[in-house]
Amino acid sequence: MEEKILKTKKNGMKALILIVLVYLVGIAAMVGGIVMTESGNDLGFVLAVPGILWVCVGWIPLLGLKVLKPQEALVLTLFGKYIGTLKGEGFYYVNPFCSGVNPAAATKLKQSGDVDGAAKGAAANGANANVTVEMASKKISLKIMTLNNNRQKVNDCLGNPVEIGIAVMWRVVDTAKAVFNVDNFKEYLSLQCDSALRNIVRIYPYDIAPNVDTTGDGIADEGSLRGSSDLVAQRIRDEIQQKVSDAGLEILEARITYLAYAPEIAAAMLQRQQASAVVDARKLIVDGAVGMVEMALERLAQNNTVELDEERKAAMVSNLLVVLCGNRDAQPVVNSGSIY
């Protein structure tokens, strides 16, 4: 299905003036014919009948008047056949028997632009609100909209369940494909976002893990959901775009809005992270303490400050490591006699 833009229909004001004038002529003919008929003039009947008929059906051409605001479109069909799309702001006049088509009109997702502001206001005004909402809902918004999809629980490449949510910025670029190629383009987009999210997340670990290939080149890398969020979001965006191209949609950007371990393993993973941090800190402390001990022994030997045998060196190393690696301040014992 190819989109056809109707560019020669922006003559709504001229059509409105003409319809009103012809309608007034019909009213005048009806009234004049009735007056002439009552006065006994046979010509009055000839004028009255067409005038009455026009007054009864003369409102039908008014159905062909269409008003569009900026960044709006209206897909038109005539007796089931697609005849074209109105795009851009303006006052249009089309065949009054044309009808607008928007299968996603009643679909409300967690996104901006689902409901027209004017239609919302009309819905709160009274009995005629339903008609106004129905007319407004046939228009398709061409604005950039943001879909804040529901959080998904997905297993990463290591099998750990994580919860992740994304926000997708999108817009309609081909109204004919959006209306006729899929049943409901909003629901279609939402489902494809869920599918693409699962396909990409299962490739990455939550944190950097050894021997994990996230790029598909056969070489282990340091990609992760937490550390490579921009790359993950770009891959999700490309995956969604590939799936929704046939629906006439363009995906401008995808962003990760929420990322966390699933509640059932969150506490255990927090303990694991804390243990890893403690081990790394202890390793750094030990490396520093060993370096300080080596430096102390070298300085003592270099300056001939004191000569220590292997047993005394071992005792000194043990004492220094206890002092430097301990969690609490050491309590020194002063030896006032011989060092031996």
* 172 vs 180: CA distance, rounded Å: 13
| Residue 75 near residue 99 (C-beta atoms within 8 A) | no
* 207 vs 222: CA distance, rounded Å: 9
Tell me the whole-structure pTM to 2 decimals.
0.70
* 245 vs 225: CA distance, rounded Å: 26
List C-alpha distances in Å: 11 to 3, 7, 85, 86: 21, 10, 15, 12
Most confident of 153-167, 287-301, 306-320, 324-338: 153-167
Q: What pLDDT score does 286 carry?
A: 79
Q: Which CATH superfamily is domain 145-261 in?
A: Band 7 domain (3.30.479.30)
Q: What is the pLDDT of residues 206-250, one digit of tens each?
A: 888 888 888 878 788 888 888 888 999 999 999 999 999 999 999
Q: Which two tokens stand for residue 81?
A: 């056949």
Q: Residue 209 half-sphere exposure, CB side, CA atoms within 13 Å?
A: 17
Residue-by-residue DSSP string for 296-322 = HHHHHHHHTS----HHHHHHHHHHHHH
Question: What is the arithmetic mean of pLDDT over 286-308?
Answer: 76
Question: What is the arithmetic mean of pLDDT over 98-105?
Answer: 90
Most confident of 39-53, 71-85, 129-143, 199-213: 71-85
53 pLDDT above the threshold of 90: no
Q: Which two tokens stand for residue 159?
A: 């099998």
Average pLDDT, the chain: 81
